[in-house]
Amino acid sequence: MSKQRVTRRQFLNYTLTGVGGFMAAGMLMPMVRFAVDPVLKHDAAGDFVVTGMKIADITNEPTRVDFSFEQKDGWYTSEVTNQAWVFKDENGEILALSPVCKHLGCTVAWNTDDANPDHFFCPCHNGLYTKDGTNVPGTPPSAPLDVYPYKDSDGFLALGKAEPRKEA
Ligand code: FES
C-alpha cells in the first residue's frame, strides 16, 4: 500500500518536471530568438537586390519596378516581392521611391488620379505626393515617400532597403 503511494508521488514528480521543462523551453525559445535575430539580420539588411531594370532604360517618367528576394525569418524562408517607382530627376540622378504611403501604408501609384496629373496618388484617402516623393500639404500623408538606395550591378539596377528621406 505504502509502496504504491511512493510510486504515484514519483510519477507526479516526473510528470510535473517534464511539463514544467516544456513550458520553460517554450517561453525561453522566443526570447533567445528575439535576442539573436537582429544580429543575424544585420548582414541581410545591407544586401542589394538586382532588379530586371537596365540602368540605360531608366527615363524621366516614373516606372514601376517589381523585384523579388528570399527573406529568412528564423527557420522560415519566403519569397518577398517589393515594388519601386524608378526614374531620373532633372539632374539625371536616379530616384527609386517606395510605393508605401506614409499615411497608413497603402500602395501609391504614378499618375492615376485624373484630377492631379503627374503626381503619386494614394487611393485609400486621396493622398498625394509630387514626382520627387514629397507629400503634398493638405493631404493625409505627413512625410515624403521612402527612398531605396541603389547600385549599378553590371548595368542593372540593384536596390537596397528603403529608408526615410533625410530632409523633409
Ligand atoms: S494610406 Fe495613403 S492616404 Fe491614407
Confidence label for 151 from pLDDT (cuts 50, 70 and 90): very high
CA of 146 to the centre of ligand 1 (A): 14
Q: Give the mutation target among 116, 121, 125, 139 for probing the ligand 1 site: most ligand atoms within 8 A of CB.
A: 125
Q: Give the mutation target among 104, 120, 146 for probing the ligand 1 site: most ligand atoms within 8 A of CB.
A: 104
Mean pLDDT of 32-57: 72
pLDDT tens digits, 69-110: 988 888 899 999 999 999 999 999 999 999 999 999 999 999
Tell me if 99 CB under 6 Å of ligand 1. Answer: no
Q: Which residues, other chains included, contact 168 with Cβ-Cβ below 8 Å and sequence gap of 6+? A: 143, 144
Q: Flag whether pLDDT at 44 surpasses 50.
A: no
Q: Give the mutation target among 100, 107, 112, 122 for probing the ligand 1 site: most ligand atoms within 8 A of CB.
A: 122
Q: Flag whether pLDDT at 38 surpasses 70.
A: no
Instruction: Report the nearest-CA residue for atom 1 of ligand 1.
Output: 104
Task: Measure the CA angle with vertex 115, ends 109 and 90; round to 5°.
Answer: 60
Distance, first Cα to last Cα, the chain? 81
Q: Cell match 507629400: residue? A: 135
Tell me if 141 CB under 6 Å of ligand 1. Answer: yes
Fold of 49-159: Rieske Iron-sulfur Protein (2.102.10)
Task: Measure the CA angle with vertex 111, ends 105 and 114; round to 5°.
Answer: 110
CA of 112 to the centre of ligand 1 (A): 14
Among 11-20, 41-50, 134-143, the least confident range:
41-50
Which residue ranges make up each domain of the chain?
1-45, 49-159
Tell me if 40 CB under 6 Å of ligand 1. Answer: no
